[in-house]
């Protein structure tokens, strides 16, 4: 910092009756330095100040020379006086210098100091007053000159210039003190130990400072799209399911969904099985207090009937092995151990199943959704990873029909900007009928598969204890797929993993187009 003017300003104020002017109190200090000291004192309310813009006069280098040594005319006059008996005109330049002679003799003439007598100059008076020099000294001291005629002449002779200058009128502030005490910027361990913190003056925070730009966090692209889906679900009256359960039993991931134990999807090809521990405990007497099961945040409005997991387990065994609820079942020996094997969940439908079973304690229309990670042992390529995020929704109600599911999908996907849908019959062990959903993508100009859906089978819902006339829609899609389409990403590895570019949404041309 340049020499700090804070204390000199406070000092000048203490000696003055009223306000002080910076150009008078500190004539040779650049106004920038004055300003920084004033800011410092002003922020502490020790002074008040206002800026006054005005024009000031400053000497040119030539003017400075005259202020110090006298004007050209005075020099010529002196030379004439010194010559005693007249100064030969042709000798003037030799004595005072050519430049001075030229300007000086004309001016000395005009002022009537000298006269011409044949080829010599003679003085007409004994003494003169060097007005030019005196005026320049006045200007140097006060930056002004009240004699307009004299000023015009000085400016014509290029001895002074006009300059813009800021002057500060400074007065005492409400917290004026004679001295600016040293201000601490840190509370140190030492200050705490020696007690000096009690009397120390701490520098106040400057909340007006813009500060250095700090790096801020960025949402992962998938999170942004996830957020869009979440708001669509919430807008449509859905509740979010607790999905913090990545390791599931075969029971919740498959058996409860009426997926037969020899189904190819359970094959080691697709499912990641957990090796340690290999299996889960059998169903508990009091499953609601199972410490491994996250508590649902959803509250029912009427008291729940007590859920019997042992009975549910037995119902699932029967419906697979022997048939029940009007279904002939798969007719194979159902293996309880297979049900207890631990897997990384292959879909979040395991969570939906758990929530639907809870719903059976108090059956009522319900809309649930979740968006979370699922795992499949697939060959990794540009569009497939061994894990992805599944968007899942279920709607439970009485009297639902397939037409209602199609209608719902049209509304749901329209909110994502997909307005043309096609439905293709498909197969899921747990839904009947099942439909693959295709959407026409305007940007890509083609039909793309966007989801899988269906109405859950009675073989899945009735073992839970849900009423016979309750129907449940279910659908699932991946979060990655719409994200890749939306942002024109062709390789899924650009979207997940350590190579993801968090700025790509902002820099992506597809996004720019949308904004335009």
Which residues have CB under 8 Å from 151's CB, separation 6+? 57, 135, 145, 160
Dist CA 369 CA 428 (whole Å): 19
State the virtual CA torsion across 352, 356, 358, 364 in degrees, nearest 10. Answer: 130
Looking at the Cβ atoms of 476 and 482, the one nearer to ligand PHE is: 476
In whole angstroms, what is the distance from residue 394 CA to residue 375 CA? 20
Beta strands at 431-441 and 47-59: parallel, antiparallel or unpaired: unpaired
Q: How far is the CB of 402 from ligand PHE (least distance, A)?
A: 13
Quick one: 107 or 452, whose CB is closer to ligand PHE? 452
Phi, psi of 496 (to 5 degrees): -125, 150
CB of 237 to ligand PHE, least distance (A): 18
C-alpha torsion 130→131→132→135, nearest 10: 130
Question: In the bound complex, what is the minimum distance in angstroms from residue 511's beta carbon to ligand PHE?
Answer: 28
Identify which of residues 248 and 392 has a Cβ nearer to ligand PHE in the complex.
392
- SS3 category, 252: helix
Closest distance between ligand PHE and the C-beta of residue 350, in Å?
A: 9
Query: What is the secondary structure of 54-100 as a DSSP string?
Result: EEEEEE-HHHHHHHHH--HHHHHHHHHHHTSS-EEGGGHHHHH-HHH
Identity of the residue, 6 or 431, whose beta carbon is nearer to ligand PHE in the bound complex: 431
Our CB check for ligand PHE shows the closer of 347 and 486 to be: 347
Rounded to a whole number of angstroms, the minimum distance from the CB of residue 397 to ligand PHE is: 15
Choose among 499, 498, 477, 489: nearest CA to 226: 477
Least separation, in Å, of the C-beta of 332 and ligand PHE? 22
Which tokens hold the place of 21? 């002017």
Retrieve residue 81's tokens: 């006086």
Work out how close the CB of 295 gets to ligand PHE at its nearest, in angstroms, rounded to a whole number. Answer: 24
CB-based contacts of 333, cutoff 8 Å, min separation 6: 321
- Residue nearest to ligand PHE as judged by C-beta position: 476
Distance in Å, CB of 207 to ligand PHE, minimum: 52
CB of 390 to ligand PHE, least distance (A): 6
CA triplet 122, 123, 129: central angle to 5 degrees?
A: 155
**CA 124 vs CA 15, 67, 81, 88: distances in Å:** 51, 24, 9, 16
**Residue 156 CB burial class (10 angstroms; 0-12, 13-18, ≥19):** exposed
Nearer to ligand PHE, 41 or 360 (CB): 360
Q: What is the DSSP string of 331-371?
A: -S---HHHHHBEEE-S-THHHHHHHHHHHTTS---EEEEEE
Nearer CB in complex with ligand PHE: 23/349: 349
> Which CB sits closer to ligand PHE, 163 or 269?
269
**Shortest Cβ distance from residue 430 to ligand PHE (Å)?**
7
C-beta closer to ligand PHE: residue 271 or 431: 431
Which has the closest alpha carbon to 303: 362, 368, 356, 366? 362
The residue (of 51 and 386) whose beta carbon lies closer to ligand PHE is 386
Among 447, 513, 459, 452, which Cα is nearest to 486's?
Answer: 513
Rounded (5°) CA angle 470-475-480:
160
**Smallest distance from the beta carbon of 214 to ligand PHE, in angstroms?**
42
DSSP state of 119: T
**Based on CB atoms, which residue is closest to ligand PHE, 136 or 455?**
455
The residues, any chain, with a CB within 8 Å of residue 269's CB and separated by 6 or more, are 377
Taking the complex as a whole, the smallest distance from the CB of residue 351 to ligand PHE amounts, in Å, to 11
Of 104 and 393, the one with the shorter C-beta distance to ligand PHE is: 393
Q: How far is the CB of 217 from ligand PHE (least distance, A)?
A: 31
Taking CA atoms, 352 is separated from 172, 430, 447, 511, in Å, by 73, 12, 28, 34
Q: Which is nearer to ligand PHE, 219 or 427 (CB)?
A: 427
Residues that bind ligand PHE in the complex, under the rule CB under 6 A: 347, 349, 392, 428, 431, 452-454, 474-476
- Residue 391 structure tokens: 């968007």
């Amino acid at each position: 910092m340049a020499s700090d003017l804070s204390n000199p300003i406070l000092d000048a104020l203490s000696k003055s009756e009223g306000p002080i002017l910076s150009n008078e109190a500190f004539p040779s200090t650049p106004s920038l330095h004055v300003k920084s000291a004033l800011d410092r004192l002003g922020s502490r309310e020790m002074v008040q100040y206002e800026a006054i813009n005005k024009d000031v006069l400053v000497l040119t280098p030539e003017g400075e020379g005259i202020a110090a040594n006298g004007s050209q005319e005075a020099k010529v006059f002196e030379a004439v006086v010194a010559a005693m008996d007249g100064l030969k005109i042709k000798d003037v330049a030799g004595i005072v210098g050519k430049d001075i002679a030229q300007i000086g003799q004309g001016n000395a003439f005009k002022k009537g100091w000298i006269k011409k007598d044949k080829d010599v100059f003679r003085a007409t008076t004994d003494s003169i007053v060097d007005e030019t020099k005196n005026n320049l000294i006045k200007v140097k001291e006060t930056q002004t000159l009240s004699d307009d005629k004299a000023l015009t002449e000085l400016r014509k002779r290029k001895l002074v210039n006009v300059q813009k200058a800021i002057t500060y009128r400074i007065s005492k502030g409400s917290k004026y003190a004679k001295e600016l005490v040293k201000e601490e910027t840190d509370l140190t361990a030492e200050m705490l130990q020696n007690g000096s913190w009690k009397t120390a003056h701490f520098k106040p925070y400057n909340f007006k400072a813009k500060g250095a730009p700090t790096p801020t966090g960025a949402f992962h692209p998938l999170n942004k799209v996830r957020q869009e889906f979440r708001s669509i679900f919430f807008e449509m009256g859905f509740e979010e399911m607790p999905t913090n359960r990545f390791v599931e039993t075969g029971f919740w991931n498959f058996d409860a969904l009426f997926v037969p134990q020899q189904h190819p999807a359970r094959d080691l090809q697709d499912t990641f099985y957990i090796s340690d521990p290999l299996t889960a405990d059998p169903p508990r007497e009091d499953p609601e207090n199972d410490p491994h099961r996250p508590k649902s945040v959803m509250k029912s409005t009427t008291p729940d009937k007590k859920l019997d997991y042992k009975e549910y387990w037995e119902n699932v065994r029967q419906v697979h092995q022997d048939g029940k609820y009007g279904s002939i079942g798969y007719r194979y020996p159902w293996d309880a151990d297979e049900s207890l094997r631990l897997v990384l969940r292959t879909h979040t439908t395991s969570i939906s199943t758990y929530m639907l079973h809870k719903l059976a304690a108090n059956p009522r229309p319900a809309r649930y959704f979740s968006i979370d990670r699922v795992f499949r042992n697939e060959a990794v390529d540009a569009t497939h990873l061994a894990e992805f995020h599944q968007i899942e929704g279920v709607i439970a109600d009485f009297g639902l029909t397939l037409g209602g599911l199609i209608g719902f999908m049209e509304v749901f996907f329209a909110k994502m900007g997909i307005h043309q849908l096609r439905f293709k019959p498909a197969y899921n062990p747990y839904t009947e009928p099942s439909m693959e959903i295709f959407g026409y993508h305007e940007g890509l100009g083609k039909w793309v598969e966007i989801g899988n859906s269906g109405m859950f089978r009675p073989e899945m819902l009735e073992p839970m204890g849900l009423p016979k006339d309750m129907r449940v829609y279910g659908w699932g899609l991946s979060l990655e797929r719409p994200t890749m389409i939306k942002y024109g990403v062709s390789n899924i590895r650009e979207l997940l993993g350590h190579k993801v570019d968090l700025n790509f949404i902002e820099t992506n041309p597809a996004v720019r187009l949308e904004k335009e």
